[in-house]
Amino acid sequence: MNTSLSERPLIRPLKLGTRASPLAMAQAFEARTRLCTAHGWDETMVEIVPVTASGDKILDRPLAEIGGKALWTKELDAWLFEGEIDFAVHSMKDVETIRPEEFCIAAVLPRADVRDVLVGAASIHAIPPGARVGTSAPRRAAQMLHARSDLQIVGFRGNVATRLAKLHAGEADVTLLAAAGLQRLDETGVGTPLDEHEWLPAPAQGAIGIECLAANNDVRGWLAAIDDRPTHEAVLAERALLKALGGNCHSPIAVLTTHHETSLTLRAAIFSPDGAERVEAHETFAPGDSAGPQRLAHRLLANAPESVTVHFSGE
């Protein structure tokens, strides 16, 4: 805990903002339980305030075409600015890399399963030739096409239930979902988890972040009690890599963090969207060393062909 921040007693219920989707609500409940347990509060002292995010309203087009990851955060950002909520909970993989300086990721909860789950086939090798893969994620599409160039990618957006319903309706033959999300929704019997060393996850996958105003020392102090330092360090490193690469919602990038006693190793791969080109590298550095992710980004981009680098703005 950061003891330099305020730890004043709580005198009113705090308001926790969240997207209204079932998964986001499950994440908000987890954050509330952890916070109240850490401080000995009754759960009535944290009020969950749901909002329907723009990203949940427009499901017929890829996110990158309609505003990117900001569509998951802009309503909650406005509520934080206006004082309607005290803090907000996010899936960190859905939070844009560069955030307004007025905000602070005050806590990151212990990371859940980072793997993707394949639904509709027992393995990537077992997917029938020419099958349709439902995904709107550039990383998943590029990795799948790199492994199986015969497959077809079809756009697939929506929450877990929506995507499973689309799959069952025959809009695709297979799809991919995050294991962490399925576990938080108690859908652990769905699909086949893919080995994270063979199928690299998205940056910050499986991590829940809690954001507040940077100037609100009271809230930052309370949230510090539930911050999981190893997860926070890994998420910061992965987001620093994204920033150094100049990645955006169109950029296929996958990354896996390994913790050592006093260091982190980032293993990352960047792709051309069609999966034809893949460049991988790794870097080991001390937690908090922003130069480590920068070195990795420079190595990846230096070794990548133009068909890859055109989708990144890093140097």
Compute the distance between CA of residue 92 and CA of residue 205 in angstroms, rounded to an integer: 7
By CB atoms closer than 10 A (0-12, 13-18, 19+), residue 4 is exposed
Q: Which residues of 146-157 are buried (b: 16+ CB within 10 A; e: fewer)?
A: bebeebebbbbb
Compute the distance between CA of residue 49 and CA of residue 54 in angstroms, rounded to an integer: 16
Compute the distance between CA of residue 209 and CA of residue 60 in angstroms, rounded to an integer: 27
Determine the Cα angle at 133 with ends 129 and 138, to 5°. Answer: 125
Terminal CA-CA length for the chain:
36
Compute the distance between CA of residue 44 and CA of residue 266 in angstroms, rounded to an integer: 40
The Cβ of residue 168 has, within 10 Å, a number of other Cβ atoms equal to 10
Q: What is the 3-state secondary structure (H, E, C) of 34-49?
A: HHHHHHCCCHHHEEEE
Compute the distance between CA of residue 300 and CA of residue 280 in angstroms, rounded to an integer: 7
Amino acid identity of 16?
L
Catalytic residue among 86, 94, 113, 227: 94
Asked if 94 is an active-site residue, the reply is yes
Contacts of 126 (CB under 8 A, 6+ apart): none
Which of these, 19, 264, 293, lies nearest to 159 by C-alpha position?
A: 19
Amino acid identity of 130?
G
Catalytic residues: 94
